[in-house]
Every structure is written in structure tokens, then in C-alpha cells.
Amino acid sequence: MKQKHLISIMFKSNLLPLLLLLTLGCTSPSSEQTATAPTEEAPGTSSDLYTIEATTEEEFDKASTTSTVGFGLEPGDAQKTNGTLSLKINGKWQSIEAFRDTLLNTTTPEKREYKYLGQNRQLNKYLVAEIGTNTYQTYLVDKTTGSLTATWSEPVLSPDGKYLANISSPDTTPSAPNGIQVWRVTKQGESATIEKYFQVDSPDWKPLELYWESPQVILLRVVPMAKYEALQGQPQPEDFAYVRLTVK
């Protein structure tokens, strides 16, 4: 009982600045990308895209039990030759130069490794992680066209399959993104088009986990960035706050 009381005190005192920061940090939609990094977004009006309110640890824990269709590894999905990842695009093996490792025997100052994470048949997409020296992001790869969509981390599909959402990686370097991205999914035959709906940047708070509570509602566990850095990425339960984000 004492621990839950401490969580309640921390939650009430810290959530108001969090909600303000999230509301002010929204960016506008972006189209599907083929480059290796997302394009910079122009400011948008958050109230037109989503609403934010407080929620509880109990509601978050309940949402965490909701099952969603993720990305699964299957035999023969991917192979790597001479440091370059190959995937089956439209049924044929294709070497993807954008997924070439730069770990050994190169003069590239920033080292990167590409790791295949699985596929989602509902989306008709592969998922590939780019792991850098101090960076991390993932790519959705269309299984039919080979087009790439960069996301901050592994996206989670909404229960109705109409949205994807992902939080930023644990990286805390100054240039690292921090917040949440929400993507709109439009089915087109066997494939799906993924377009950024909005992005929330919150430099003072670190998102740790997200779960879909319903087809348009995301629950987030967050912690103040100062505490996250001071505790070296190992916050305690009393440091957490919980947020409900409703997609419009």
C-alpha cells in the first residue's frame, strides 16, 4: 500500500508538465520514406490529432495483457552475404544496399549493423533494425515493392490494424529522438501503405513502454528524463507516470 501511495504522489505532481510538453511537442504527418532517416517535420496542431489524459498503473497493466499481431521470425525469410542483408521482395531474393553493415574493414566513421527482426503478414512488411554505435532505429520493408519506412523502434499494430505506434529507443544522446510516433495504415490489396499521422517530441520525459488499450487508445509508461539519466536507465516504480493518448 505504501508503494502505491508513493506512485500516486509522484504521478499527480509530475503529470501536468508532462501533458503540457506532449501537447506542445506534436509534429505533422509525413509520407512513406525511402531514405535512411526520417525527414524533419513541421509543427502541427495537437488537438486536431489526439488527446492526452492521465491514467493509472492498474489500467496500464490491464492493457499490457491485450494481444496484438506482431512481427515473427520464419525460416528462410532473410540472409546476409558479405555484410549485406537480402530479403525476398515480390517472391525473389533481393540484396538491399541500404542494409549493408559497416562494422569491419571500412572507413565509414559511424558503424552500423542491420538485423532482421521478422515479418507481419497482415501488413505485408518485414522489420529490420539498424544498430549503430550510439543509435537505433527500425525499418518497415514492403514485401512486394521493397520500399522502406523508417521508425524510431519496433512499431506495435493497433487491435483493428489501422494504426501503428512506436516509442523512441533507450538512447539518451543529445541528437536522439525522444517521444512517440503514430502511423496510419491503409490496406491496398495484399499490401499496406504506412504514413506518419503524428509525432510527439518530449525532451524532458522518457517513454518506456506502450500498449494499445483499444483500436484508438494508447497507454504509456513514462519517467522524467533527469531521473532516467541519473539512474542510468533503471528507474524505480515510484518514478513512473502513466498517460492515455487517444488518436482522433
End-to-end Cα distance, the chain = 36
Tell me the whole-structure pTM to 2 decimals. 0.81
Kindly report, residue by residue over 49-65, the tens digit of the pLDDT.
998 888 999 999 999 99
- What confidence tens digit (pLDDT) does each residue in 151-184 have? 999 999 999 999 999 999 887 677 889 999 999 9
Report the distance separating Cα 234 and Cα 123, nearest Å.
34
66 and 227 in contact (C-beta within 8 Å)? no
Q: Which of 122-126, 131-135, 136-140 has the lowest mean pLDDT?
A: 131-135
Among left, alpha and beta (phi > 0; psi -120 to 50; other), residue 162 is: alpha
Mean pLDDT of 2-7: 36
